[in-house]
Amino acid sequence: MARQKGIIKLEGRVGDLSFYKSGGDYYARTKGGVDGDRIKKDPAYARTRENGAEFGSAGKAGKVLRNALKGPISKSADKRVASRLSKQMLQVIQADDTNLRGERTVMEGDLTLLKGFEFNKAIGLESVVTVPYTVSFDRATGDATVTIPAFDSKNEISVVEGATHFRFVAGIAAIDFANQSYEVDVTETADITYGSVIGLATLLQTSLTANSTLPIFMVFGVEYYQSVNGQMYPLNNKESNPLAMVLVDTP
């Protein structure tokens, strides 16, 4: 591997040389490794093919989940959330004790391993929301609720510099990984001012089709805003917005 110098930086392949960018720097390297056709056909690379198939399945499953809950995720996700979620999905697939290696699936794996996944690695939900909220889901009705008891926003919700208000947000999705389709519902509270005490329990209610036969995923988080002349503006620093997978319900 060699670092490119000069004004003109190259990306792509020229003959046996590959030019690429990594971490803000430009590099060049010669073509190497095992021939692709050999990996596809040689029995010696059976494990490689199996691992590749399952890694690909994990990536597709993670993308479907991210697309389903794109609304809340887009306001909180860190830059590596796709790769982190794929890694977690791979663990789900590897928990499949029914199918053979290379043929294991998300649906036959342990989807509950996704519970607790943080979409923003910079800040965890539990470090921001210290009030003891509860999450419930009724598959028979399709209704889901995040219940937040009366709380002191000044002491039980982390303060973010520049923020004057915040909102709780919740999203729920029923996902068909095989067909890469989903049903989703997202809701959020009204703007809550720092320093105010919520007298009654705050409810975030979402709903899906009753008696769904699909796995259900629910996320919950906080979004910060700044009030300027009566208009709410989301903070540009979305690293302050936590979002976590708080419920996974499998049929």
Same domain assignment for residues 176 and 77: no
Q: Cβ neighbours of residue 59 under 8 Å, at least 6 residues apart?
A: 82, 86, 89
147: domain CATH number is 2.60.40
pLDDT-based confidence at 47, cuts 50/70/90? low
pLDDT-based confidence at 235, cuts 50/70/90? confident
Residue 10 has pLDDT above 70, yes or no: no
Q: What is the pLDDT of residue 23?
A: 57
Q: Does 228 reside within a domain?
A: yes
Same domain assignment for residues 40 and 19: no
Write the DSSP string, 190-244.
PPEETT-B--S-EEEEEE--TT--S-EEEEEEEEEEEEETTEEEE-S-GGG--EE
Q: Does 207 reside within a domain?
A: yes
Q: Give the type of residue at 108.
A: E
Same domain assignment for residues 242 and 133: yes
Q: Does 88 reside within a domain?
A: yes
Pure H helices in the chain:
36-41, 46-68, 70-74, 81-94, 125-128, 153-156
- What is the residue range of 171's domain? 125-249
* Structural domain total, the chain: 3
Q: Does 86 reside within a domain?
A: yes
Same domain assignment for residues 79 and 137: no
Same domain assignment for residues 199 and 140: yes
Radius of gyration of the chain (CA): 22
Out of 86, 114, 142, pick the residue that ends a domain.
114
Q: Does 120 reside within a domain?
A: no
- What does the mean pLDDT of the chain come to? 85
Handedness of CA 153, 155, 156, 157 (dihedral sign): positive
Same domain assignment for residues 44 and 20: no
Q: What is the pLDDT of residue 45?
A: 47
